[in-house]
């Protein structure tokens, strides 16, 4: 159970299963976070905890942040210093039916994984993306949070194998939203734009860190905007980002166009690596 490739805590105990009546299993009633681990430290933990807390409030799950921190410290004390940690918070055990119990006890699952081998094949000269046919539904009540129901991403990811590194997802109107596992940034006329996520999509931790801290600290302008697929062709540079892989330039999107790896994304990648060396 506690070998390097199988370190998992369920409510603070070494285990690899949850009850069959768990609401996260039955209804997707829960949330998750995926943390990069470097030298025994998750670089953006405060951002992850902030998003998890926001999601828990929206889904009426009583998150005990002190308890979660205790479980995380236990896992960190036993796992390798490099890798990825996945945290799952569910609404706990419930009966058959959608009604939530009066005082549900959340379940905390923390699991260590090795750093994805695929990252070693990605090139700083840019990633190749595909445009996914499956589109994200509009759901403002769930927009932004990282809830457990990721069937849209599962269906989209079925559309390619290894010929692309990521897939770009649109909403029902054809607006650009995000990658299946990443957020998108575009450079236009000296300003960085990222798609608005008010109706659907996941507000990524790396995306938030870039908007709140790194880009303003570099004196760069960045803001949310509605972007349609046709506008992508006129962008000067593109990159995708998430908290596991960091920032990666986009070289091409099949059926839409191609872009050079410009100075803008190169400077951002360099600054991010200065702040967090794991994102190289």
Instruction: Single out the catalytic residue among 90, 146, 181, 199.
Output: 146
280 in a structural domain? no
Q: Are residues 51 and 76 in the same domain?
A: yes
Burial 118-155 (b: 16+ CB within 10 A, else e): eeeebeeebbbbbbbebbbeeeeebbbbbbbebebbee
178 is a catalytic site residue: yes
Q: Are 62 and 102 in contact (CB under 8 A)?
A: no
Q: With respect to residue 244, please indicate whether it lies within any of the assigned structural domains.
A: yes
Query: Are 65 and 174 members of one domain?
Result: no
Element (H, E) at 191: strand 191-195
User: Where residue 2 falls among pLDDT bands split at 50, 70, 90?
Assistant: very low
pLDDT of residue 208: 98
- pTM of model > 0.85: yes
Domain at 84, CATH number: 3.30.470.10
Q: Is 146 an annotated catalytic residue?
A: yes
36 plus 94 within the same structural domain: yes
**54 Cα distance to chain centroid:** 15
pLDDT band at 63 (very low <50, low <70, confident <90, very high): very high
Chosen domain end from 115, 140, 172: 115
| 74 among known catalytic residues | no
Tell me whether residue 185 is exposed, middle or buried, using C-beta atoms within 10 angstroms of its C-beta: 0 to 12, 13 to 18, 19 or more.
Answer: buried
Number of domains in the chain: 2
Assigned domain for 207 exists? yes
Among 33, 166, 178, 199, the one annotated catalytic: 178
Residues 6+ apart with CB under 8 A from 194: 183, 184, 185, 186, 207, 211, 222, 223, 224, 225
Q: Are residues 179 and 259 in the same domain?
A: yes
DSSP structure class, residue 94: -
Do 267 and 128 lie in one domain? The reply is yes
pLDDT at residue 3 is higher than 80:
no
Compute the distance between CA of residue 251 and CA of residue 253 in angstroms, rounded to an integer.
7
Q: Given 34, 90, 180, 194, which residue is catalytic?
A: 34
Which stretch of 3-12, 45-54, 135-144, 211-220 has the lowest confidence by average pLDDT? 3-12
CATH of the domain at 194: 3.20.10.10
Print the domain residue range for 95: 7-115
pLDDT in tens, 107-139: 999 999 999 988 888 888 999 999 999 999 999
The alpha-helical segments, DSSP class H, found in the chain are: 23-27, 45-58, 65-78, 151-157, 205-209, 215-217, 263-275
């Amino acid at each position: 159970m506690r070998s390097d490739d199988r370190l998992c805590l369920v409510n603070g105990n070494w285990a690899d299963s949850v009850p069959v009546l768990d609401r996260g299993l039955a209804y997707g009633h829960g949330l998750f976070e995926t943390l990069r681990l470097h030298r025994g430290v998750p670089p953006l933990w405060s951002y992850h905890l902030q998003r998890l807390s926001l999601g828990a409030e929206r889904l009426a799950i009583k998150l005990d942040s002190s308890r979660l921190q205790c479980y995380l410290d236990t896992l960190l004390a036993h796992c390798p210093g490099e890798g990825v940690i996945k945290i799952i918070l569910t609404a706990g055990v419930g009966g058959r039916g959608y009604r939530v119990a009066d005082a549900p006890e959340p379940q905390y699952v923390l699991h260590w994984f090795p750093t994805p081998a695929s990252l070693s094949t990605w090139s700083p000269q840019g990633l190749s993306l595909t445009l996914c046919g499956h589109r994200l539904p509009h759901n403002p009540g769930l927009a932004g949070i990282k809830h457990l129901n990721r069937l849209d991403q599962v269906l989209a990811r079925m559309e390619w194998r290894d010929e692309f590194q990521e897939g770009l997802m649109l909403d029902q109107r054809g607006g650009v939203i995000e990658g299946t596992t990443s957020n998108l940034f575009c450079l236009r006329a000296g300003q960085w734009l990222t798609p608005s996520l008010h109706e659907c999509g996941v507000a990524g931790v790396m995306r938030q860190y870039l908007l709140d801290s790194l880009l303003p600290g570099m004196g760069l302008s960045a803001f949310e905007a509605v972007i349609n697929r046709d506008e992508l062709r006129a962008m000067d540079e593109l990159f995708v980002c998430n908290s596991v892989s960091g920032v990666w330039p986009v070289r091409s999107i099949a059926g839409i166009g191609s872009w050079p790896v410009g100075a803008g994304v190169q400077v951002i990648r360099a600054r991010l690596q200065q702040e967090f060396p794991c994102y190289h």
